[in-house]
Amino acid sequence: MTARFTGKVVLITGGAGGIGRAAAVRFASEGARVVLVDLAAATLRQSVAAVEKVDGEVLAVDADVTRLADVERYAKTAVDRFGTIDVFFNNAGVLGALKPLVDYPEETFDRVIAVNLKAVWLGMKVVTPLLRARGGGAIVNTASIAGLRGSPNIIAYTASKHAVVGMTRAASLELARHNIRVNAVCPAPIETPMAQQLETEIKRLTSSLEAGGHRVIPLVRRAPRPDEDALGWDPASGAISPAGPAVGDAIVHLAGESIMGVRWTSAKKRRIRESRTTATRLLVQTLTRLAKPPAVLVCASGIGYYGSRGDEMLTEESRPGTGFLAEVGRDWEAATAPAIAQGIRVVNLRLGVVLSEHGGALAKMLTPFRLGMGGVIGDGAQWMSWIALDDVVGAIRHALATDALRGPVNAVAPAPVTNAEFTRALGRVLERPTLVPLPAFAARLALGEMADELLLTSQRVVPARLQASGYRFRYTTLEGALRGVLAR
């Protein structure tokens, strides 16, 4: 593993927990000296042992992250031992009781607020002057959404995610001039909605294909279990294991770093690009070297390929646009060219805004809209090209089965809408007012480039090739799709 953090000092609060331990091992594996902070002495010792197992240099500090004196003490201890702090992994957090809001115990409420909010703020308050003094550094705040496990843990969700992300955004703007990078990460266990959406997509596509008599073999980013009908895939090398003369008659490749989430940094943009272009290029190299390559490769792409085009009607024949996502889209599709040269039928599925209750853009809209806080973004005139999750699965099946279909294919419904029309339709379905707009300047202030690329971009895309090749959409109107997706 590349030693990217050789000599760096990484301070990790919540060091006894699973996320803190995993982060400590990863940083230590890449050459960092690690300081672990927690109150749970027994499990903190386990984290220390895990770091030592990878030959890492580690210091453990027993401290209460909600008390200013303890926070000052753990920061001073780190500096006294190692001379400085380069990275602050601000991972303080507690799950709290798994109870609905009305049954939440007062003492648990107070503890969750103290650990999940005050401790994060105190950590930044104490460590930031040290980073300023050394001329810069990095702070990573974890906004855990583990509170969604089991029953709806509203307090843990709102405290750990929304408030911490809000504090992080404010701090990132304040500290940028001091060369201090501040980011938030939202660890998402398998029970969370985004993970559920991914599982739902895979299960629906798998069930649909198996119902047609096909055998579906997942490519997983780990060694397959002995009883698992799967193949291992290493995106960094493109290798598929166990190796053999063939992997299947068809490959469906949907992997890629999420473009949603926090403000785009240069590192985030690099992950977005490389997880699509590099991973696809390496996978294609592996496929074309097989003794029996697959007959078809369906590879995800996106309508970001077209850039922002106002009211222009866009088909697969339209020229590419400009902007970060347009560049990524062009390079992503170009990465499949060697497969075409080897005679593999390639379909580049340019996906629009996928409607799912469990993740993606719609899921992020639901909470504010249900609270009556939804509204248009910018002037609302920008076009949104959407598609229901059921039709994504249908389009993939259609692409696999239709020999005449190849090259770029727009996976969008036939009736794109403006953002204003989308807002009104979602308000009708949810029976809520939509009177709270998000001005363009506010979106840009909060999200920067990401606002123009995702929220304010106008893409009026139609599925010309899907329709010409005979695909019949399950949902052709937005309101019908929203009612189907949300079971309204």
Distance CA 319, CA 460 (A): 13
Structural contact between residues 248 and 303, judged by C-beta atoms closer than 8 angstroms: no
What's the Rg (C-alpha) of the chain? 24
Distance CA 248, CA 73 (A): 58
Secondary structure, 3-state, 33-52: EEEEEECCHHHHHHHHHHHH
Structural contact between residues 356 and 362, judged by C-beta atoms closer than 8 angstroms: yes
457 by DSSP, 3-state: which? coil
Among candidate residues 446, 428, 387, the one with its CA nearest the CA of residue 170: 446
Distance CA 95, CA 62 (A): 20
- Give the DSSP letter string of 205-238: HHHHHHHTT-----EESSPPPTT---EEEETTTT
Spatial CB neighbours of 364, under 8 Å, sequence gap ≥ 6: 260
- Taking the mean position of all CA atoms in its chain, how far away is CA 131? 28
253 by DSSP, 3-state: which? strand
Residue with tokens 């949603």: 260
Spatial CB neighbours of 243, under 8 Å, sequence gap ≥ 6: none
Distances (CA, A) of 171 to 76, 164, 165: 22, 10, 10
- Give 387's strand partners: 354
Q: What is the total residue count of the chain? A: 488
Q: Quickly count: other Cβ atoms within 10 Å of residue 56's Cβ.
A: 21
Write down the catalytic residue from 74, 157, 471, 475: 157
Distance CA 478, CA 18 (A): 42
β-strands 57-62, 345-351: how paired?
unpaired
**Beta strand extents in 186-336 (DSSP E only):** 219-220, 231-234, 239-241, 250-253, 296-302, 313-314
The DSSP code for 307 is -
Distance CA 328, CA 331 (A): 5
Known active-site residue 157:
yes
Distance CA 29, CA 52 (A): 10
Structural contact between residues 29 and 4, judged by C-beta atoms closer than 8 angstroms: no
Among candidate residues 169, 174, 23, 144, the one with its CA nearest the CA of residue 88: 23
Looking at this protein, which amino acid is placed at residue 236? A
Q: Which residues are catalytic?
A: 157
